[in-house]
Amino acid sequence: MSEKRIRDITDLPGVGPSTAQKLIDAGYTTIEAIAVATPRELSEITGIPTLQAQKIIEAAREALDIRVKTALDLKRERMRARRVTTGSKSLDELLGGGVETRTITEFFGEYGTGKTQLCHQLSVNVQLPEDKGGLEAKAAYIDTEGTFRWERIEQMARGVGLDPDKVMENIYWVRAVNSHHQMAVVEKLFDMVGKENIKLVVVDSLTGHFRAEFPGRESLALRQQLLNKHLHQLMRLAEIYDAAVIVTNQVMAVPEMFFGSPDRPVGGHVVGHAPGVRVQLRKSKGNRRIARVVDAPHLPEGETQFAITEFGIRDVE
C-alpha cells in the first residue's frame, strides 16, 4: 500500500488537474462518488477514456479500503483505534478506555439522562493532549434539536484547563434542519474531516428527525432504510478518517416491561444492527447517571455511575 494518504480526488493516482476538473464539473467531487461509479458511466459523463476511468475508480476504491482483509488486518486496525476520555474514569473503564475512533458510539436513554452533556464533553475532551485522554484534534457537532450550548462548552473547557475560546474555535457546529439535511451534512464532512483534523463527529440526535418525519408503522421500513444508510455513511467516515463518531438516541421508558431492558427505543431498536458500542443511560439520584454497555462483543457487560457537574462529566464523588 502506498504511504501517501488520499484525502481528495486530486490525490488519486492518474488524476491530474484537468482530469480533476472534468470530474468535478460532472459532479464527482468526492472519492466516495467515484468509488461507486462504473467505468463506463464515468467515461461517458466526463469524457475521460474508459481505461483511465477504470484505473481512477480502482484507486478510489483502494483509498476507501474496499478490499478483502485478513483477521490479522482486523486485529491491527483494532489496535490502532484510539480513545477519547469521557471525563469520568469509571465510565472510561466501562468503555475500555474511553470512546473509540473508527467506531460509532451510541448513547441512548430517556430525556435528561446526559446524552447531550456527553456530546459536549467529548467535543471538548478530543482537544486534550494524548496524555490527558484526548487526540489534540477538532470536533464536528451536528445538532438536530438545537440543544448545543457554547456556554456549556466554555464551562467544560475551563473544567479541563483549556482556553475556552480556542476550544470553541475547534468545534464546528451545524444545525441540521431535517433528515435529508442531516445526511447531506455528513456527506459534506467527508471533504472536511481529514483536512481539518477532526477526530470526533457528533450527531445529537441521530434519530429525532427520522422519527418525526416517518411516524407510524407504515413508514417504519423506509425510516429504517434511511437510518441504515445514514449509519453506513457515519461508519465510513469513522473508518476512513480514524474518527470517533458519537450518536444519541432518545428512548422512552416503558415501565410495564419487566423482562429485559426497561427502556425501549421509540419505534424499536433502530440502530441495533449497526457496528459499534451502545451505551444505555439511566437516571440515578441527583446529578448521578448510570451507564451500561449493551451488546458490545469486545467489552464485558456491566454498568457504572458518573456525575453531571458544573464542570462537566466527572466520576461520582
User: What is the contact surface with ligand GTP in residues (CB under 6 A)?
Assistant: 109, 111-117, 147, 152, 250, 287, 308-310
Closest approach of ligand GTP to the CB of residue 249, in Å:
9
DSSP 10: G
Which residue's CB atom is positioned nearest to Mg ion? 116
Which of 60/234 has CB closer to Mg ion?
234
Residue among 147 and 197 whose Cβ is closer to Mg ion: 147
Report the alpha-carbon distance of residue 297 to residue 151 in Å, rounded.
Answer: 37
Stretch that binds Mg ion, among 141-149, 184-192, 282-290, 304-312 (CB under 5 A): 141-149
Long-range CB contacts for residues 5-11, cutoff 8 Å, separation at least 24: 5/194, 6/31, 6/59, 6/63, 7/194, 7/195, 8/191, 8/195, 9/34, 9/60, 11/63
Residue 43 touches which of Mg ion, ligand GTP, none (Cβ within 5-8 Å per kind): none
User: Over the Cα atoms of the chain, what is R_g?
Assistant: 21
Which residue is listed with cell 475547534? 170
Closest to ligand GTP by CB, 22 or 283: 283
Judged by CB under 5 A, which stretch of 58-66, 139-147, 207-215, 306-314 contacts Mg ion? 139-147
Burial class (CB in 10 A: 0-12, 13-18, 19+), 192: middle
Closest separation in Å from C-beta 246 to ligand GTP: 12
Distance of closest approach, residue 233 Cβ to ligand GTP, in angstroms:
22
CA distance 203 to 280: 16
Q: Quote the CA–CA distance of 279 and 101 in Å, as a whole number.
A: 16
Q: Are 125 and 84 in contact (CB under 8 A)?
A: yes
Q: Which residues pair with 292 in a beta bridge?
A: 280, 303
Choose, by CB under 5 A, the member of 86, 113, 116, 182 that binds Mg ion.
Answer: 116
Taking the complex as a whole, the smallest distance from the CB of residue 184 to Mg ion amounts, in Å, to 22
Q: Residue 165 or 310: which CB sits closer to ligand GTP?
A: 310
Cell of 290: 448510570
113 binds, among Mg ion, ligand GTP, none (CB under 5 to 8 A by kind): ligand GTP
Nine-digit cell string for 317: 464523588
Which residue's CB is nearer to ligand GTP, number 30 or number 123? Answer: 123
Q: What, of ligand GTP, Mg ion, none, does residue 309 touch, CB below 5 to 8 Å by kind? A: ligand GTP
**In whole angstroms, how close is the CB of 280 to ligand GTP at the nearest point?**
11
From CA 305, how far away is CA 79, in angstroms rounded? Answer: 27
- Letters for 9-28 (x = contact with Mg ion by CB under 5 A, - = none) are --------------------
Distance of CA 311 to CAs 156, 300, 307, 315, Å?
5, 29, 10, 12
For Mg ion (CB under 5 A), the number of binding residues is 3
292 binds, among ligand GTP, Mg ion, none (CB under 5 to 8 A by kind): none
Binding footprint of Mg ion on the chain (CB under 5 A): 115-116, 147
